[in-house]
Amino acid sequence: MDLADLVALRKDLHAHPELRFEELRTSDIVAEVLTSLGYRPSRGLAKTGVVASLQGKKPGPSIILRADMDALPIEERGDHAHISRHPGRMHACGHDGHTTMLLGAAAALALDPPECGTVHFVFQPGEEGGAGAKVMLEEGLLEQFPAGRVFGMHNWPGLPIGSMATRKGAIMAGGWRFLVEIKGQGSHAAQPHLGRDALTIGAAFVQEAQLLVSRRSNPLTTAVLSICTFHAGTTDNILPEAATLRGTIRSLDVQELEALKKGMTRLAAGLALAHEVAITVQFHQPYPVTVNTADETELALAAMKQVIGTQGTVVSDMTPSMASEDFGFMLEKRPGALVMLGNGASAPLHAPDYDFDDTIIPQGIAYWVALAHICLRINQDI
Ligand SMILES: [Zn+2]
Ligand SMILES: [Zn+2]
């Protein structure tokens, strides 16, 4: 596959985005390309996952290189030729680029295999809120494709084209989503004393919850508490009986996440008592903190240094992100590292005018190839 093929593939994937666990077309294309390269891809883990394995020249250790495949429920904005053909869906996180670069690496390494061991190319569904990495692990990824080390890569808007970045330790936040349900008593808008107005109590919850971050969290730790939806009421002369709030908490510190959960539960109990309503808080969809291990971060940095020319820099101590990444589930099971590939001045991830920059495809592929060769050298102490 030459670069023109890969760019065409990336644009095609961009034009046909698929949401988590619905990556049927993408999965078919990935499997077809791998088959055309001489691989025998395995399919079905986490429904649409695809895995292909490459043997090195001699027996040895195994590594996983992982890309995600899913898109987001966002209406794309723009007028480029490869704009999403599907209303309300777009590749706003660059997973089209990640998939393309890992296919490119599979093509390059098939022609130039590592000295020893095995490379497992893992094409993962459902990263965006679906914890697809966790599902693949639960369905036997590491039993079917044993690997001693795992590696991931994400494009990074704001990091200049040509640069790559990572860090040892926590690189992306862990988090939970939450649902708060307030059950009061509906009443006439002019007779508030006869009801228990869920909307006003919900507004109090929104305000008070911010105090958990500003007054209870240690300022030197990291904490985000974002309430993202608030639904209550039907019309302008009825005080609503019920209100629901949804949002997320994030931190780089697991204990801080637990403190935020406890604080929200306390707040719900306190407001319920004060205002004689029922308030429940449910936490779901946990993502772990993504933690890079020290030795594997060194291997990743060595690969970056090999592939970055004079145009870019290797950032070895990047500022962690408070966003979350389900690659953290893989890093809970095996040592490894997530790295960032500069996507330049593009719109931010998850923005409606975001696009993956095709000029970074060769660098991403070169990184994967260099990393495989570094990890799977004979005499490598793995
Ligand atoms: Zn994303
Ligand atoms: Zn992403």
Helix, strand, coil percent values for the chain (each to nearest 5)? 35, 25, 35
Buried b (16+ CB within 10 A) or exposed e, 163-198: bbbbbbebbbbbbbbbebbbebebbeeeeeeebbbb
Q: Which ligand is nearest to the CA of 348?
A: 1
Own/partner pairs, 198-201, CB within 8 angstroms, 24+ separation: 198/232, 198/239, 198/240, 198/241, 198/242, 198/243, 198/277, 199/232, 199/233, 199/239, 199/240, 199/243, 201/243, 201/271, 201/275, 201/277, 201/279
- Compute φ and ψ for 256, nearest 5 degrees: -65, -40
Find the 234 Cα to ligand 2 centroid distance in Å: 37
Find the 193 Cα to ligand 1 centroid distance in Å: 46
Give the largest CA-CA distance in the chain. Answer: 81
- Please report, to the nearest 10 degrees, the dihedral formed by the alpha carbons of residues 256, 157, 104, 2 taken in order: 180
Find the 95 Cα to ligand 2 centroid distance in Å: 6
Find the 127 Cα to ligand 2 centroid distance in Å: 7
> What pLDDT is recorded for position 382?
46
Could you tell me the residue ranges of all domains in the chain?
3-173+289-375, 174-286
Q: How far apart are CA 193 and CA 45, in angstroms?
A: 56
Q: Give bridge partners of residue 380 from the DSSP assignment.
A: none
Assigned fold of 3-173+289-375: Aminopeptidase (3.40.630)
Assigned fold of 174-286: Alpha-Beta Plaits (3.30.70)
Find the 180 Cα to ligand 2 centroid distance in Å: 27
Q: How far is CA 337 from CA 46, 165, 224, 331, 350, in A?
A: 22, 11, 24, 8, 23
Assigned token pair, 198: 């869920």
pLDDT tens, residue by residue, 3-53? 999 999 999 999 999 999 999 999 999 999 999 999 999 999 999 999 999
Q: How far apart are CA 38 and CA 36, in angstroms?
A: 5
Q: Which ligand is nearest to the CA of 154?
A: 2
Find the 214 Cα to ligand 2 centroid distance in Å: 29
Find the 98 Cα to ligand 2 centroid distance in Å: 9
Q: Which ligand is nearest to the CA of 98?
A: 2
Q: Give bridge partners of residue 283 from the DSSP assignment.
A: 178
Pairing state of beta strands 169-172 and 149-156?
Answer: unpaired
Q: Give the number of C-alpha atoms closer than 13 A to the C-alpha of residue 318, restricted to the C-beta side.
A: 26
- State CA 67 to chain mean position distance: 10
Q: How far apart are CA 174 and CA 169, in angstroms?
A: 13
> What pLDDT is recorded for position 167?
98
Find the 191 Cα to ligand 2 centroid distance in Å: 49
pLDDT tens, residue by residue, 103-162? 999 999 999 999 999 999 999 999 998 999 999 999 999 999 999 999 999 999 999 999
Q: Which ligand is nearest to the CA of 351?
A: 1
Q: Which ligand is nearest to the CA of 128?
A: 1
Question: Of the candidates 339, 370, 369, 342, which has an alpha carbon nearest to the alpha carbon of residue 356?
Answer: 342
Q: How far apart are CA 49 and CA 14, in angstroms?
A: 18
Find the 156 Cα to ligand 2 centroid distance in Å: 9
> What pLDDT is recorded for position 56?
95
For residue 294, give the 3-state DSSP assignment: helix
Please report, in range form, the residues annotated as the binding site for Mn(2+).
93, 95, 128, 154, 350
Task: Write the DSSP assignment of 22-77 as a string of letters.
Answer: --HHHHHHHHHHHHHTT---EE-TTTT-EEEEEE-SEEEEEEEEEEE---BS----
> What pLDDT is recorded for position 380?
58
Please report, in range form, the residues annotated as the binding site.
93, 95, 128, 154, 350
Find the 154 Cα to ligand 2 centroid distance in Å: 6
> What pLDDT is recorded for position 378?
87
Find the 207 Cα to ligand 2 centroid distance in Å: 30
- Residue 234, classified by CB atoms within 10 Å of its CB into exposed (0-12), middle (13-18) or buried (19+), is exposed
* Residue ranges of the chain with per-residue pLDDT less than 50: 382
> What pLDDT is recorded for position 381?
54
